[in-house]
Amino acid sequence: MRIGIYGGSFDPPHIGHAEAARAAAAALKLDKLILVPAALPPHKELSAEGAGAEDRLAMTGIMADVLGRNVEVDRLELDRAGKSYTADTLREMKARYPGDELWLLMGSDMLFSLQNWREPEVILSLAAVAAFAREEEDDLREMKAHAGKLSETYGARVEVIPLPVHPCSSTQVRRELKEGKRPQGLLDPVYGYILRHGLYGTNADLKHLSDEKLRACSLSMVYAKRHAHILGVEETAVKLAQRWGADPQAARRAGILHDCTKYLSLKEHLDICKRAGIVPDEMEAGSAKLLHSKTGAALAQMVYGESDEVYWAIYWHTTGRADMGLLEKIVYLADYMEPNRDFEGVEELRRLCDTDLDAALQMGLEMSVADLEARGVPIHKNTQGALDWVREHRKGT
């Protein structure tokens, strides 16, 4: 395997890091890329207004998840006492991956000082080096000459990887955040994490967030594979609200937040329920899948200050219930047939959503029950209650 190791302060990680990681993975044909946030970088001070180690680790983890399944974050430097020397990190990595090829990724400025790091001969014997060059800013000739010198002195293998110029740095991102701006250099979910934790002087009032900020917060709470779905539910819920006369803004907020607790553990769900005064029934108490709609609603209200209407639309989005309200139906159906959903019958369901909302609801519930039965999953009484109710209700109209 070829494994890239990319260390840094990541305070915070930004799209410059993300692009460098992507470029290195492609140029070196890496099988795996490990991002390593430094505890105490030996070469510079962490910013006094910077984030703590655990927050930098979490944000770097979010970026790793966005970058894809071959990218991971590792806390080994955070768990080691004292300064984060690369030689120590590489020794640990080599012990972990004895038969694999290690590549150490770094910026061009780092390449020029490499011979002054602690134990450069150890570093360069354990790993090959890939140095990023900013196409317009860095002198490629000078970099290649220096790489040649390192090869001669240490027998090092050094590659230079050209990057498109990107005016982005953690210092600039921190400054913009402090000024209340939305830095272009931040991935949405990293921005959301920063807002939720009030890092870098953002001090956002989570109970009165703009749609853009609320969306970033929600995306920061779930894995990247769910991002497109959440955006799809938001967009679809707004359209259905416009079509059927519900409040589009409430539909938007509910769509944005509906799955925000999707990846919490059962214990975390139960803790939130306790805090929110929600008493799960027996089936719910053992099922994170059933609880995520309740806890999503709870956080929408307790953390983000959303209205009762938004609360209940999220609360019922997984099972439905007898006597569903308009926004509840809309979020339930948007969740079912947003543009990323693909199953037999989805086109018919979308058509019904535009012509007969209750017929669509019946179809959704029937498909859901059939699917659960086929998989041997017990039907929750509210799912059954919703189906019985919509059948009866449509007969009467």
Q: Which of 378, 388, 392, 394 binds ligand DGI (CB under 6 A)?
A: 378
Residues 6+ away with beta carbon under 8 Å from 13: 35, 56, 59, 60, 62, 63, 170, 187, 190
User: Cβ of residue 379: shortest distance to ligand DGI, in angstroms?
Assistant: 5
Residues 253-312 that bind Fe ion (CB under 5 A): 259
Q: How far is the CB of 372 from Fe ion (least distance, A)?
A: 14
What phi, psi does 394 have (nearest 5°)? -75, -30
Indicate which of Fe ion, ligand DGI, none lies near residue 197 (CB less than 5 to 8 Å, by partner kind): none
The least distance separating ligand DGI from the CB of residue 383, rounded to whole angstroms, comes to 3
- Extract the tokens encoding 361: 């609801």
Question: Which listed residue (289, 340, 350, 367) binds ligand DGI by CB under 6 A?
Answer: 289
Residue ranges in 353-382 that form contacts with Fe ion under rule CB under 5 A: none
Instruction: Determine which residue in the list 377, 388, 392, 394 makes contact with ligand DGI, applying CB under 6 A.
Output: 377
Instruction: At 159, give phi and psi (nearest 5°).
Output: -120, 145
Extract the tokens encoding 174: 């921190």
Beta carbon of residue 312, minimum distance to Fe ion (angstroms, whole number): 14
Choose from ligand DGI, Fe ion, none: what does 220 bind? Cβ within 5-8 Å by kind. Answer: none
290 contact choice in Fe ion, ligand DGI, none (CB below 5 to 8 Å, kind-dependent) = ligand DGI
Residue 234 or 335 having the CB closest to Fe ion? 335
Which residue of 7, 335, 365, 389 would you call a contact of Fe ion, by CB under 5 A? Answer: 335
- The residues in 231-260 that bind ligand DGI, with binding defined as CB under 6 A, are 259
Cβ nearer to ligand DGI, comparing 34 with 297: 297
Q: Which of residues 291-320 bind ligand DGI (CB under 6 A)?
A: 293, 317-319
Q: Binding residues for Fe ion, per CB under 5 A?
A: 259, 335
Q: Binding residues for ligand DGI, per CB under 6 A?
A: 259, 262, 287, 289-290, 293, 317-319, 335, 368, 372, 377-380, 383
